[in-house]
Amino acid sequence: MGMTPEEKKYKGIIWTLSILIPLVVALLFRVNLNKLGYNVEPLGFLPPIYATINGITAICLFWSVRAIKKGNIKLHENLIKLCMVFSSLFLLMYVAYHMTSLETKFGGEGMIRYVYYFILITHIILSIIIIPFVLFTFIRGIAGAYERHKKLARITYPMWLYVAVTGVIVYLMISPYYPY
């Protein structure tokens, strides 16, 4: 079965967003407003908030899968929309924090350092890879292409869940080293 009209309509937008979001985040991540001469208060209160949002996203993702398995399509759809909102809020807060705050270096030593960087690197890579998966899965669901939606969701769900859960783990591991 070919693409739905909605997929065809949004394909270019999805791929554009999938490329632009990581590029813009990477660029903004390198911009520190205070180093540019702006006197901006560091947003040191944001990391526990966006880590909590990641945790809530993971719970909502899990709950959405349970909902669809029970045949509650509307709850599933609403939870997925909520996850998309939460992921967007996370991204905005994450960028805002890094644009106003000093870089935090992980201070752990030995094996825990390797564990931390493994989790961090896989989290970052999958957070980039997941963008088109989430958007195409969402469009397929909204378009009513349920078999194709379900097939792609089997790949999207574990990746998105991993990104959400490891976001919390990364925060918990680095939080003792925050300067604020």
Burial 102-141 (b: 16+ CB within 10 A, else e): eebeeeeeeeeeeebeebbeebbebbbebbbbbbbbbbbb
Q: Give tens-digit pLDDT for 46-88.
A: 999 999 999 999 999 999 999 999 999 999 999 999 999 999 9
Residue 1 predicted with pLDDT over 70: no
What's residue 177's pLDDT?
92
* Mean pLDDT on 119-128: 97
Read off the pLDDT band of 103 (50, 70, 90).
Answer: confident
Host domain of residue 59: 5-177
Tokens 């998966």 label which residue?
A: 133
How many domains does the chain contain in total? 1
CATH number of the structural domain spanning residue 29? 1.20.120.80
- CA dist 173 and 132 (Å) reads 28
Q: What pTM, to 2 d.p., does this model score?
A: 0.92
pLDDT in tens, 10-57: 999 999 999 999 999 999 888 989 888 888 898 999 999 999 999 999
**How far apart, in whole angstroms, are the C-alpha atoms of residue 74 and residue 68?**
9
